[in-house]
Amino acid sequence: MIVEGRAVVIPGDDVDTDVMYPGAYLNIEDPEQMKRYLFEGYDPALREQLGDDAIAVTGWNFGLGSSREHVVQALKAWGVRGVVGKSFARIFRRNCVNLGLLILECPSAAEAAGSGSRIRIDTDTGLVEVDGRRFKASPTDPFVLELQESGGLVPWARGKISA
Amino acid sequence: MWSRTWRSSLGHTLAEKILLAHCDGDDVRRGKVVMVRCDVVMANDVSGPIAFRAMEKMGAAKVFDPARVVMVADHFAPAKDARTAELLKRMQDWADEQGVTFYGQGRGGIEHTLLCEEGWIVPGSVIAAGDSHTCTYGALGAFGTGLGSTDIAACLTFGEFWQTVPGTIRVEFTGEKQQFVTGKDLILAVIGEIGVGGATNCALEFVGDGAAALSIDERLAVSNMAVEAGAETGFFNADEKTAEYLADRTDRPWQPDESDPDAEFDRELVIDLSELPPLIALPHLPGNVVPVEEAAGTKIDQVYIGNCSNGTMTDLRQTAQVLRGHRVHPGCRMIVVPATQSIYRQALAEGLLDLFVEAGAMVSTPTCGACFGGHMGVLAAGERAITTTNRNFRGRMGSPEAEVHLANAYVAAAAAVAGAIVHPAEVASGVAA
């Protein structure tokens, strides 16, 4: 699968789920409403850079903390096409995979990208291009790759139930 | 391929053994993805309702096994507003419809303390729950791990989840801990040492004389914060204390187990408890750990004793030991949250709640409340708190301009008396260790 887009850099390392989506808004269930509070405790201006051509670029240990799925739901509601980072906290990465949001660990690509960089991801080869420069992403397990490319656990479960 | 043969002869870690017993096949090499069967699936009023919707989208009408599913109302309990009342109500309705166990408002408490107390957790079992602090169950030798709502929806439907086999970091605690040092300090020391991402893709394992000497309450505090180092879970080996704790709580069968002597660990570290002072995690990361004396003098507006790591009887007794004969400083407020209804009643029977109120503290019904900035004690801009909770991220307890310090119950209670961070020995010199 090929995914292309425009880099939106979420600066810093150890960016936690609480700053990305503060606890006070955990009573919201509609992703369209969750959108409004994404990055609320970190830098609300980041929302203005998002859009349906965006690929989020992150630092080390991105998404540490809570199991709240709201962060990933909100990223998806903004139309974000994927996340490329130096490394990810476990549950955040799971949530992306389970909701079918492409997530790739590629420290060199994340380092090379600036806001507005053109990014092209080839999930078959694991290559990430940043403004034409090529980087190799850490390998993703075939089951995990298939799960996220097929839209996550909801379609997976539907297939399993109807089978 | 000499090295390959040699490696395959190595024993298994405890994490690998538990996963092996809960998946098909016999290959649990590190990094392999396996489907893991759940003994218990749990969600709360934040993760549950989103999971119910995902389950509907999956086309699943019924849970895989109502006897293995449990719901707990704790995050926004009692309801903060109409919207949260709706979440709590939906949870109740769903639990009734599915025929699963539901600990409603006033009938349970904070999920992780509650599930241990109620005998849901036994050594060697697998618990998947919609909350990151599910790693708490490692204290009883169980593979408890936190998952998001869609993951939980699949667990509710099929009773299993995908899991990458983790590596293991072994932490050996040696020696005897000093006065005013508790389980909280042990885990803060670990996170300070390896960092907030130091155990990513790994389980933590706590061993040694210092680990064996800890009470179950203190083990819960240690395992609870394993996720603060990025770990999947944080194990103690089940022993006589575990057996004693479980004896009157459950008739679920279990066997003690531990990592094989020749198992391979990603990393091993040793922490000498005789050298360890009370610690504090400074804002805004649980890994910003310093000895309490380095933070001494910092003025405190709110003290919060509670949450799934440190809202146990042990914590309330430690709080009372420091507070006895003192009052909460006029420049400071204090909130005490017993983790469960049964802890609340025990504290009541021991006269602790009266002592807290007399000293000028507020005693709250069990709730996750202010720990995650939900309600019942959130912070204003510019305010500083010291808490026995597990996260001090920016904005965690309210305003992004507030600051949260993490510490044990002795240190937090001492700050309530002094109105500022102090070594607890300065407030309660006569307290027994």
Let me know if residue B6 belongs to a domain.
Answer: no
User: Closest to B373 (Cβ–Cβ): which among A22, A69, A95?
Assistant: A22
B52 shares its domain with B91: yes
B123 shares its domain with B227: yes
Let me know if residue B9 belongs to a domain.
Answer: no
CA B58 – CA B356 distance, rounded (Å)? 49
- For residue B2, pLDDT over 50 is answered with no
DSSP-derived letter for residue B178 is P
Q: Taking the domain A2-162, which CATH number applies?
A: 3.20.19.10
Residue B85, chain A, CB below 8 Å: the answer is: no
B40 shares its domain with B106: yes
pLDDT score, position B10:
81
Report percent pLDDT > 90 for chain B: 95
Give me the CATH number covering residue B32: 3.30.499.10
Residues B343, B369: contact at Cβ < 8 Å?
no
pLDDT score, position B429:
60
Tell me the two tokens of residue B241.
């204390």
pLDDT score, position A163:
83
pLDDT score, position B430:
52
B373 shares its domain with B408: yes
Rounded to 5 degrees, what angle do the CA atoms B329, B333, B338 make? 120
Let me know if residue B1 belongs to a domain.
Answer: no
pLDDT score, position B428:
80
Determine the structural domain holding residue B372 and report its residue range.
Answer: 281-426
* Chain B: residue whose CA lies nearest to A147: B162
B36 shares its domain with B171: yes
Let me know if residue B256 belongs to a domain.
Answer: no
Give per-residue pLDDT as tens, B182-214: 999 999 999 999 999 999 999 999 999 999 999
> Distances in Å between the alpha carbon of B33 and those of A44, A143, B36?
36, 8, 9
DSSP-derived letter for residue B188 is H
Mean pLDDT of A75-95: 98
Closest CA to B389 of B402, B400, B373, B365: B373
- For residue B4, pLDDT over 80 is answered with no
pLDDT score, position A143:
96
pLDDT score, position B55:
98
- Which residues of chain B have a CB within 8 Å of the CB of A141? 31-33, 164
Let me know if residue B433 belongs to a domain.
Answer: no
B189 shares its domain with B216: yes
Single residue among B205, B237, B272 that ends a domain in this structure: B272
Single residue among B204, B239, B272 that ends a domain in this structure: B272
Residues across chain A: 163
B306 shares its domain with B359: yes
Let me know if residue B5 belongs to a domain.
Answer: no
Residues B79, B91: contact at Cβ < 8 Å?
no
B54 shares its domain with B135: yes
Number of domains in chain B: 2
- Give the gap in angstroms from C-alpha A132 to the nearest C-alpha of chain B: 31
Residue B162, chain A, CB below 8 Å: the answer is: yes
Let me know if residue B122 belongs to a domain.
Answer: yes
Share the mean pLDDT of chain B. Answer: 96
**What pTM, to 2 d.p., does this model score?**
0.97
Q: End-to-end alpha-carbon separation of chain B, Å? A: 54
Q: Do A152 and B49 touch (CB under 8 A)?
A: no
Q: Do A161 and B162 touch (CB under 8 A)?
A: no
- For residue B310, pLDDT over 90 is answered with yes
B35 shares its domain with B111: yes
Q: Read off the pLDDT band of B350 (50, 70, 90).
A: very high
B239 shares its domain with B295: no
Amino acid at B354: D
Share the mean pLDDT of chain A. Answer: 97
In sequence order, what E strands does chain A have?
Answer: 2-9, 54-58, 82-85, 102-105, 118-122, 127-130, 133-136
Residue A141, chain B, CB below 8 Å: the answer is: yes
pLDDT score, position B9:
54
Residues A134, B149: contact at Cβ < 8 Å?
no
CA A66 – CA B209 distance, rounded (Å)? 32
Tell me the two tokens of residue A144.
């995990």
Give per-residue pLDDT as tens, B94-137: 999 999 999 999 999 999 999 999 999 999 999 999 999 999 99
Residue B370, chain A, CB below 8 Å: the answer is: no
pLDDT score, position B433:
44
* Chain A: residue whose CA lies nearest to B57: A154
B268 shares its domain with B285: no
CA B303 – CA B307 distance, rounded (Å)? 13
B289 shares its domain with B377: yes
Give per-residue pLDDT as tens, B363-412: 999 999 999 999 999 999 999 999 999 999 999 999 999 999 999 999 99
Closest CA to B220 of B205, B232, B235: B235
Is the ipTM beyond the 0.95 threshold? yes
Report percent pLDDT > 70 for chain B: 97
Q: Read off the pLDDT band of B282 (50, 70, 90).
A: very high
Residue B201, chain A, CB below 8 Å: the answer is: yes
- Which residues of chain B have a CB within 8 Å of the CB of A14? 196-197, 285
Domains of chain A, residue spans: 2-162
Q: Do A27 and B84 touch (CB under 8 A)?
A: yes
Let me know if residue B408 belongs to a domain.
Answer: yes
